[in-house]
Amino acid sequence: MVGTLDDATITEYFRNKSVLITGSTGFLGKILVEKILRVQPGVRRIYLPVRAADSAAARRRVETEVVGKELFRVLREQHDGGFDDFIMEKVVALAGDVTHEAFGIDATTLRDLQLADELHVIVNSAATTNFYERYDVALDVNVMGVKHMCAFAKKCPNLEVLLHVSTAYVAGEKQGLVQEKPFRDGETLRDGTHLDMDVELRLAKDVKKQMEADPDSPPKAERKAMKDLGLSRARHFGWPNTYVFTKSVGEMVLGMEMRGEGNVPAVIIRPSIITSIKNDPLPGWIEGTRTIDTFIIGYAKQNLSCFLADLNLIMDVMPGDMVVNAMMAATAAHASVSSFTTLPEKMEPQPPPQPPAVYHVSSSLRHPATYAVLYRTGIRYFEEHPQVGPDGRAMRAHKMRFMGNITAFHLFMIIKYRLPLEILRLLSILCCGLFGLASLYNDLDRKYRFMMRLVEVYGPFSLFKGFFDDVNLNRLRLSMAENGIDHVGLFNFDPKTVDWDNYFSNIHIPGVMKYVFK
């Protein structure tokens, strides 16, 4: 891309465009839908396929789980009493499922809407983000969902760009600089292994069939077997969990399916840890539990007294609104030649990249924050806003012990917690559960298991020693710079504009406590 990509250019790109967004009921999907509608009310249509029995159920789900959220308050106020009519005109809810061909949308609806001919942009943000997901489910959503999306994209003659949301942590547990480059077909993170997607799909299918064929196998056993299979396959190929492994395979599928497909550019957005909205439309708004938010909530509930983490390591986070800003900028920048007819002549489109262009939407290289920032601001927040205990009294914010070595952590947990718990259990048995010993044991054992689950799932991230190169994103950022001044306007995605202490103290942690903490 040559020339300047400014707020007006990006906003104008979406005018009279039809956009299909998967995963709209998710955190990032909602922010994207709201942003497009707010900055460009002249967008032609936004199509939202969601799991539902029929079109009426799909509409109800979009009304409840997307546009009905507090996130849309500013947009609702802008349109005053005309908000519902505006949404009815611009947003089309579709009963569908990314795990099926053509997004699971029935043929009659596709024909009546002429959806294939209508679309200019497809954004795939649908994913299962469960680190310990069933292998069959993770493959269906994170891998086959991408394959179905690409197959549909090939049938869209007016499609200008295909944008796929992945995660920066497809890097696994790499150390040092992680480059913005796509995966090669069959590439893995462990030497001596080669990935064959068809083999993995057959393996998941066969194991599931074996479990279902066993009449003595309860559904719970099948779920555990499929979850364990996903984790073992991920670790076999060098990834720490099922989520990042299947997202990596999804990227490979995108590269293979879209290779040589005319002039339709494919773009991969890899955000790091996505956190609450920083600026607009609602600072602090968040849905679901992000990786670091589990730590905040556990601390608020007094469930955490120690954790596996090195406070000096970089905690790579990006606010959700800044991730969406980067997505919209990348969409406008990579749209095919026909979309630039109304743009300045100096902005000449370049041939679409093959393989897909990759953007790390991250902060670890340009403006890093360490885990010490989160801990420091968390302590300060809970000292100023203490939680209230069951007795109605304010709970004192306690210090935590952090350990940066997993072997030392496990040894500490055995000596400090596991052995005393076993002694308490024996005493409870000998005393027949009297003196409240059984209740005390159950309470402490629950807290212990909660902590160990956190460490197993999030440990690889809290000890992650890599940092994400953002050379491609920086080029996009520089194209939005005017007179050498970094861009901080409507589509700002520069982490250098974030004061991390202020953000966590006054925006993110309060947002987590308001919208997530129960």
Residues with a known catalytic role: 243, 247
Provide the 10 A C-beta neighbour count for residue 299. 23
Residue of 254, 259, 462, 497 lying closest to 363 (CA atoms): 497
Is 452:416 a contact under the CB 8 Å cutoff?
no
Phi and psi at 132, nearest 5°, equal -120, 50
Report CA-CA distances (Å) from 250 to 199, 221, 433, 448: 15, 27, 51, 35
d(CA 279, CA 410): 40
Provide the 10 A C-beta neighbour count for residue 47. 22
Residues ≥6 apart with Cβ < 8 Å to 177: 365, 466, 467, 469
d(CA 283, CA 95): 31
Residues ≥6 apart with Cβ < 8 Å to 176: 465, 466, 467
Give the angle 85-87-92 at the CA atoms, nearest 5°. 120
Is 271:318 a contact under the CB 8 Å cutoff?
yes
Strands 273-275 and 176-178: unpaired
Report CA-CA distances (Å) from 303 to 146, 306, 315, 448, 513: 38, 9, 22, 8, 15
Give the DSSP H/E element, type plus range, for residue 359: strand 357-361
Phi and psi at 45, nearest 5°, equal -150, 150
CA Rg value for the chain? 24
Burial class (CB in 10 A: 0-12, 13-18, 19+), 64: exposed
d(CA 246, CA 225): 17
Residues ≥6 apart with Cβ < 8 Å to 89: none
- The maximal CA–CA distance of the chain, rounded, in angstroms, is 84
257 token code pair: 């399916």
Peptide bond into 355 cis (omega under 30): yes
d(CA 45, CA 30): 15
Report CA-CA distances (Å) from 101 to 138, 150, 201, 415: 16, 10, 16, 53
